[in-house]
Amino acid sequence: MLRLDRGNAYNHTLKIAVLDPSTDPQGWSRPRMQQIMRERIHLLPVFRQRCLSTPFGIHQPIWVDDPEFDLDAHVRYVACPAPGGMKEFCALVEQVYANPLDRSRPLWQLWVVEGLEGDRVALVTLFHHAYTDGIGAIGMMQNVFSEVPESNSLGPAVWRPGPLPSPSRRLGWALRDLPALLRQVPITVRALRERVQIERQIACDRPNLSPSSTDRSAAGPFQRALSRNRRFACETFQLPELREISAAFGVTINDVFLACVAGSVRRHLTTAGSAPDAPMVGSMPLSLKPLAERPSPGNYTSMDYVWLHTEIADPIERLRASSASAKATKEHFAATKDADLSKIVEIIPGPVVSALVWANEKTSGRYSPFKNIGVSNVPGPRRQLYLGQWKLDRWFSTGQVAHGAVLNITVWSYGDQFNLGALADAEAVPDVWPLIAGFRSSLDELLESAGSGASPVNSPAPSTAIN
């Protein structure tokens, strides 16, 4: 993630907590927010760490405690433009997001946005995806929020960071650990060779059900280079609606999500005068380790690819095809995750990676692991959460966009909410709100069919739907 940063491509992720201070008799105040942050920052230890390179690039960058860490330098306060609705708020988020983070500091910022409708306050957090992934973010969230209102002061924890390690010390660490890294080279090469064989066998047994890691066909209009600016929109849907569709058709919540994303993109492109006639490759992050099995903080996400069936007009046929494609992608990932493509970056020398990143930028994402559209569905907390005595009203999240994948649609569930966020490059998608509306329309189509007693989706998609 760190090495993919270059120019207009930056790999920070966006987390938005919308707070309802009405649950607190004292209401909202900046001093109390500052107090809560000072008392709880130790519960997010990675937020006090910055990255340092290894001399001569002979090993990976490292995380170290930043002795100059200053909490106030990472927290900003800003007012949402009137009247404080979601469109005004999202326009503000676009401006916040469209800037790279400072590599000389810990890679995060918190923007406290006051003045939202209903006297709500939003905490807009940017942090680099190298710190953690979506599942890890849930763990961080659970450290800071609680299931009951808390009125007692926790008191700040003592923190005494040491000095930054000198270049010579970092070089010594790198030389010490280099043999272990080199021993991984033949293992990784062998695993990648096996991955190629597995993918060939899968393609032979079940052609076209899932894109391979090298498949660039049906890329779509979102396989392009990034500009400087971003567009963002978010909206809350009701999770019981998706459960109703899931039960009616015998599919998963994720199948419904993918079908509605495909339906939304189809509407968007059709309105623009280019109705798709083939499925699109979607990039789907998948976790390599559950939260309880992770030995340390970090990003434990890999990537696989799924067909988004934007070519299918009928919503039920689209859902059937989406279900079959999602199942094929899960099986593909289970068969190939031991040969994770990200392991290549770990064994390639830094200058070679830098050259590939440069070439990726110049070729509009040809060498990027991210393709076309990023889609992610993260099951979040089911119970009501609080920050101090302030109720967490809604929670949104979105991953990054990249050269070659300039649209990202991410959903986080929270309680009975299905919170959808769409992030896009401004030149590729000047207005992302129609994508949110298209998701609503696609969901309504499936709800109507579910209510009419349509037959379950219990068979694979016909081959004509995925060619």
Q: Please, what sign has the CA dihedral across residues 190, 195, 200, 206?
A: positive
Q: Residue 43: pLDDT above 80?
A: yes
The owner of tokens 């700040």 is 156
E strand or H helix at 319, and its extent?
helix 315-336
* SS3 state at 306: strand
- 143: tokens are 């450290």
pLDDT tens digit string along 395-430? 999 988 999 999 999 999 999 999 999 999 999 999
Residue length of the chain: 467
Q: Which of 16-20, 177-181, 340-344, 461-465 has the highest mean pLDDT?
A: 16-20
Rounded-to-integer distance, Cα 362 and Cα 50, Å: 29
Rounded-to-integer distance, Cα 129 and Cα 369, Å: 15
- 323: tokens are 């279900």
Strand partners, 204: none
**Who has greater pLDDT, 432 or 340?**
432
Q: Would you state the pLDDT for residue 138?
A: 84
Q: Residue 220: pLDDT above 80?
A: no
Segments of the chain assigned to CATH 3.30.559.30: 172-382+397-465
CATH class of the domain defined by 12-153? alpha beta
Q: Would you state the pLDDT for residue 19?
A: 97
Q: Would you state the pLDDT for residue 232?
A: 97
**pTM score:** 0.90
Q: Would you state the pLDDT for residue 454?
A: 57
Is 59 an active-site residue? Answer: no
pLDDT tens digit string along 103-115? 999 999 999 999 9
Q: Would you state the pLDDT for residue 426?
A: 96
Rounded-to-integer distance, Cα 89 and Cα 69, Å: 29
Q: Residue 217: pLDDT above 60?
A: no
Angle at 194 between CA 338 and CA 305, to 5 degrees: 60
Q: Which of 310, 316, 258, 255 is nearest to 452 (CA)?
A: 316
The answer to whether 137 and 15 have CB atoms below 8 angstroms apart is: yes
- 191: tokens are 């695993």
Rounded-to-integer distance, Cα 357 and Cα 371, Å: 15
Q: Residue 155: pLDDT above 90?
A: no
pLDDT above 90 coverage of the chain, percent: 58
Q: Would you state the pLDDT for residue 1?
A: 80
Q: Options 1.20.1260.10, 3.40.50.280, 3.60.15.10, 3.30.559.30; which CATH number does 172-382+397-465 get? A: 3.30.559.30
Q: Which of 400, 406, 435, 431 is nearest to 420 (CA)?
A: 435
- 430: tokens are 């000047």
Angle at 64 between CA 60 and CA 69, to 5 degrees: 140
Mean of per-residue pLDDT scores for the chain = 88
Q: Would you state the pLDDT for residue 209?
A: 67
- 239: tokens are 């999770």
Distance of CA 238 to the CA centre of its chain: 20
* Average pLDDT rounded to a whole number, residues 120-143: 89
Rounded-to-integer distance, Cα 209 and Cα 320, Å: 12
Segments of the chain assigned to CATH 3.30.559.10: 12-153
Q: Please, what sign has the CA dihedral across residues 268, 445, 316, 418?
A: positive
- In single-letter form, the type of residue at position 310 comes to T
Residue 301 CB neighbours (<10 A): 21
Whether the ω angle into residue 83 lies within 30 degrees of 0, i.e. cis, is: yes
pLDDT tens digit string along 284-333? 888 777 777 787 778 877 788 899 999 999 999 999 999 999 998 888 88
Q: Which of 436, 420, 431, 427 is nearest to 406 (CA)?
A: 427
Q: Which of 129, 268, 309, 403 is catalytic?
A: 129
Distance of CA 282 to the CA centre of its chain: 13
